[in-house]
A = this chain, B = another copy of it.
């Protein structure tokens, strides 16, 4: 029997290694898998390359991961926000590398990785400094820039409900990057609000089929399993 549901966020991220490329879902805090990120901080993986739309808000979630000095490089579209002080200070101190990508190209590059596309011509960014040094081509009278896929070792995403085969549905605009990141990583780890029995998700409405998901973990863990979660958290490298 295939059961992709793992017992804790610590177990879910236990093999994320130093130097890994990690996609992290979310647009701001909507869809950000905060519990998985906290577990990753506990685990203490270093020198990560992180792919996210932003670069952290406040002092929690992705911002906390940056603050813990786990991230060598970030690939994102919009790092500067009113509450991105953690990234801002690391960036100004030269302690983090930034690859800035227009948001639609970021999404399409992630989608291309999942779809096995070698490269694609996009009109976005043509003639701007973000296309500097990139191959361009005129196609049917319009100018395009060649962009390549972004693959990842791991994707950490947040969904609403999931089953033991890894099928996922999301909630409102928390969907954002989740489905495409799930397709672009070797190992996709989804935290879900609720796990359901097989057949509990409408096959017409499943957004991410289980083929794209390797691990599902309920988070935050409910009252019953909370003590265990806390226990596990105290042994970060297990």
Contacts and interface: CB of A to CB of B under 8 A. Distances in A.
Interface stretch (A31-39, A74-82, A118-126, A228-236): A118-126
Contacts of A223: none
Interface size class of chain A, counting residues whose CB lies under 8 Å from the partner chain: 20 to 34
How many identical subunits does the complex contain? 2
Nearest to A148: B139
A92 interface: no
A119 B116 contact: no
A135 to B, nearest CB: 10
A139 B119 contact: yes
Contact of A120 (B121, B123, B171, B202): B121
A230 to B, nearest CB: 33
Interface in A136-178: 137, 139-140, 142, 144, 148, 169-172
A115 B119 contact: no
A224 interface: no
A108 interface: yes
Contacts of A121: 117-120
A31 B106 CA distance: 33
A204 B205 contact: yes
19 contacts: A108-B115, A116-B123, A117-B120, A117-B121, A117-B122, A118-B120, A118-B121, A118-B122, A118-B123, A118-B137, A118-B139, A118-B140, A118-B144, A119-B137, A120-B121, A171-B204, A172-B204, A202-B205, A204-B207
Which 9 A-B pairs have CB atoms at the shortest separation, nearest pair first? A118-B121, A205-B205, A118-B144, A120-B120, A118-B139, A119-B121, A117-B120, A119-B139, A116-B123
